[in-house]
């Protein structure tokens, strides 16, 4: 039994970590192919080392580019690699250009494809991630959904028979890491000169927020108006676009920092008063760590976090008020599973092998 995981962007490395560990524990051969979509050490290497993920077996080194150019280059480079590996499953993760390229490369070779984090929908057709996830779900043979809501989207699209709800693998990781970062948290707060519960952590990288100068300026003004320090962990795309648009990031409450490795991120977030973000993963991580989240988008795929009161959607002018709102009522709801999703993923892949041939 051989599984080939194809990954390329930061959130996929986090999802890969528990899957790689579960493959190892189950004695399943696991080959890791890195497309090279993210190549900066801070977006890639630090995740492999800190989360104890084996080095990629294959590095395609594709790098940045327009959507078509990047996706096409990955598709072309993946075909001979997948063909040579001839795996029982090609496992693709999430909703990036790497995900879609790998799903397409595999179906064209008649290799069985499983999509992890299937069924998420924003219903916003302007997002590249929405195209990637819808197309990947319809191409894949097996849809590993994180939640019942995700499974219901797949059912509505006629894909119920290929769907299994496994839980959310990012939830597996966040709790494992959170249990081991108490010391790192205190050290980080000391280095940054902030006190627990008195700062927010912000991230911003989505095209719809960074690529329009007026929208970006409005969001930065919103962050700057928060009444406590906002530590902005700046993705390279944010820095590049802010430079291009002439929007200074450091203003008012905002302090700009480099992106953090995963353990440091978890350590910092778990001590924050709140999170302000447009990232999908961070909305969920904040919820799992019970830190209130403000999401700078018009919709979210992780609707459970909003329904349970731990996440609010905010436009640029609403950020400052949202970031200082009262803490919501405590909850022990667990919409993202029990922290053992990755074991279930491997179990399902082993049990379903051959059925799609």
Active-site residues, by number, are 205
Residue closest to 273 by CA, chosen among 295, 289, 257, 250: 289
Please state, in angstroms and rounded to a whole number, the distance separating the CA atoms of residues 132 and 242: 26
Residue 108, interface with ligand UD1 (CB under 6 A)?
no
Stretch that binds ligand UD1, among 26-34, 37-45, 178-186, 323-331 (CB under 6 A): 37-45
- φ/ψ of 81, rounded to 5, equals -70, -45
Please, what is the minimum distance in Å from the beta carbon of residue 141 to ligand UD1?
Answer: 22
Length of the chain as a residue count: 357
Six token digits for residue 98? 């790497």
Of 64, 180, 298, 351, the one binding ligand UD1 by CB under 6 A:
64
Please, what is the minimum distance in Å from the beta carbon of residue 97 to ligand UD1?
Answer: 4
In the block, tokens 């953090």 appear at 260
Please, what is the minimum distance in Å from the beta carbon of residue 63 to ligand UD1?
Answer: 8
In the block, tokens 């019970």 appear at 290
Cβ proximity to ligand UD1, 244 vs 307, nearer residue: 244
Stretch that binds ligand UD1, among 35-43, 47-55, 102-110, 138-146 (CB under 6 A): 35-43
Cβ proximity to ligand UD1, 95 vs 264, nearer residue: 95
Residue 215, interface with ligand UD1 (CB under 6 A)?
no
Stretch that binds ligand UD1, among 34-42, 152-160, 178-186, 213-221 (CB under 6 A): 34-42
- H runs (alpha helix) in the chain: 10-26, 45-50, 67-85, 97-108, 128-139, 148-156, 169-178, 182-192, 207-210, 213-224, 236-245, 262-270, 280-288, 303-307, 319-323, 341-352
Residue closest to 204 by CA, chosen among 49, 57, 119, 316: 316
Residue 43, interface with ligand UD1 (CB under 6 A)?
yes
Residue 129, interface with ligand UD1 (CB under 6 A)?
yes
Give the residues lining the site for ligand UD1 (CB under 6 A).
Answer: 9-11, 37-40, 43, 64, 95-97, 128-129, 205, 235-237, 240
């Amino acid at each position: 039994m051989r599984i080939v995981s194809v990954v390329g962007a930061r959130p996929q490395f986090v999802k890969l970590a528990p899957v790689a560990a579960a493959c190892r524990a189950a004695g399943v051969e696991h080959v890791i192919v890195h497309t090279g979509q993210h190549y900066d050490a801070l977006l890639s290497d630090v995740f492999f080392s800190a989360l104890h993920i084996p080095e990629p077996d294959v590095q395609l080194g594709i790098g940045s580019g327009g959507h078509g150019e990047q996706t096409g280059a990955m598709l072309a480079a993946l075909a001979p690699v997948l063909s040579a590996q001839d795996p029982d499953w090609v496992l693709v993760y999430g909703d990036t250009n790497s995900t879609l390229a790998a799903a397409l490369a595999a179906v064209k070779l008649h290799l069985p494809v499983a999509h992890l984090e299937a069924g998420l929908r924003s219903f916003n057709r302007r997002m590249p991630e929405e195209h990637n996830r819808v197309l990947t779900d319809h191409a894949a043979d097996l849809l590993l959904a994180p939640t019942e809501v995700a499974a219901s989207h797949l059912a509505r699209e006629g894909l119920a028979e290929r769907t299994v709800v496994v839980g959310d693998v990012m939830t597996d990781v966040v709790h494992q890491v959170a249990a081991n970062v108490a010391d790192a948290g205190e050290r980080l707060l000391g280095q940054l000169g902030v006190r627990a519960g008195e700062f927010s952590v912000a991230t911003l990288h989505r095209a719809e927020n960074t690529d329009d100068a007026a929208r970006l300026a409005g969001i930065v003004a919103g962050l700057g108006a928060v009444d406590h320090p906002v530590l902005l962990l700046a993705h390279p795309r944010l820095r590049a676009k802010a430079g291009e648009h002439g929007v200074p990031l450091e203003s008012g409450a905002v302090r700009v920092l480099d992106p953090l490795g995963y353990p440091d991120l978890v350590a910092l977030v778990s001590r924050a008063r709140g999170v302000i973000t447009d990232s999908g993963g961070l909305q969920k991580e904040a919820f799992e760590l019970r830190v209130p989240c403000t999401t700078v988008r018009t919709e979210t795929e992780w609707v459970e976090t909003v329904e349970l009161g731990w996440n609010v959607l905010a436009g640029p002018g609403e950020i400052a008020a949202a970031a200082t709102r009262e803490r919501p009522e405590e909850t022990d709801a667990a919409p993202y599973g029990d922290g053992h999703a990755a074991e279930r993923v491997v179990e399902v892949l082993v049990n379903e092998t051959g059925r799609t041939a």
